[in-house]
Amino acid sequence: MRIPAEHNVTPPTLDCYAKARDAFLGDTASELAALLIDHVRESRQSYLEQTRAEEHQLRLVQAAQVEDMRTQADKLRDAGISKGAGMIASGLLTVGSGVSIASTGTADNPYSKYFDGSAKGAEGGGQLMAAHFDHDAGIAGADATEHEHLGSEAERRLETLDEARSYLKELQRTAFEHLQNIQETQAGTDRTLTSWRG
């Protein structure tokens, strides 16, 4: 569009156009938009590093939780074996007591008492060992729960980082749109200036 040399309406001065363009070019908003894009780039890099670190942490605590569960399983198994073995030994010794009564002909014999005492000792020993293993199993279960909670924390941090990355993406898009508008405005202004000066 060409602006006629002779115009009925007093045309705006060049200074007005310059001021209008300066409102977009070299202004604070454009500089801020450029800085935002740079900030987005650096922040995204930082968030990616944090995400990698959180993923690593999550993998570690989840692996630790699974390992704790396996340890708890082993301890539970050991506890059952200890208690069961104690009861089996106790039962066999009780049967032995009966056999000693049958063989000696009287219940008041030293073998029977030895077998009875050993039976109680075997059962008590088995329960003692089982209590020890149950204690270890409980500790392993508590560790597993702790690691599960740590994993949940890491997952929440990952979600926060995802949201931050989405926000950065939106911020970058807005800054680009702003700069694109500035570019188009600048071009339009230049065209107008060229036409007006011409």
Partner 1 sequence: MSTIAPAQPLGSTSIPQTHEVLSPETTGPLTAPEFSGSTPTDALSELLLLVERQNQSSLELNLSEIKAAHERMGDLQRQLKGELERALAAARHAQHKKRGWFSRTFGKVIDAVAKVVAKQAELTKDVAMLQVDLAVSLVKHFRDRDALVQSLKHDLLELGESSETERAVEGFTAGTAKFLGDVAAFQFVLVAALAENAAEGDALHDAFREALKDQAQKLWHSAETNILENPDFWTVTGRVAQGVAVASAIASGGTLAPVAVGILLALEADKRYGYIEDACGKKAAPWVRVGLHVAATACSGSGSNEALKWTQVALSTIQGTGAVHQGVKTWQEGKRQGEELDRRADVQETLYQIQETQRLMDALIELYESKSEHRTRTTEAAAALVETQGQTQAALVLQG
Q: Contacts with partner 1 in 99-128 (CB under 8 A)?
A: 99, 101-102, 105-108, 119, 123
Give min distance, CB of 107 to partner 1, in A: 5
* Per-residue binding letters, 25-64, with partner 1 (x by CB under 8 A): x--------x--x---x--x----------x--xx--xx-
Distance from C-alpha of 63 to C-alpha of 140, rounded to nearest angstrom: 13
Q: Considering Cα of 184, then 185, then 188, then 193, what sign does the dihedral take?
A: negative
- Does residue 85 interact with partner 1 by CB under 8 A? yes
Q: Give every CB contact of residue 185 below 8 A, 6+ residues apart in sequence.
A: 21, 24
Q: How far does CA 186 lie from the centroid of its chain?
A: 47
Number of H helices, E strands in the chain: 3, 0
Q: Which of 95, 128, 131, 142 binds partner 1 (CB under 8 A)?
A: 95
Which of 47, 78, 114, 157 forms a contact with partner 1 (CB under 8 A)?
A: 78
- Residues within window 150-189 making contact with partner 1, judged by CB under 8 A: 158, 169, 172-173, 176, 179-180, 183-184, 186-188
Inter-CA distances, 72 with 82, 138, 161, 181, 198, Å? 15, 7, 34, 63, 88
Q: Which is nearer to partner 1, 8 or 58 (CB)?
A: 58
- Does the footprint of partner 1 cover residue 77 (CB under 8 A)? yes
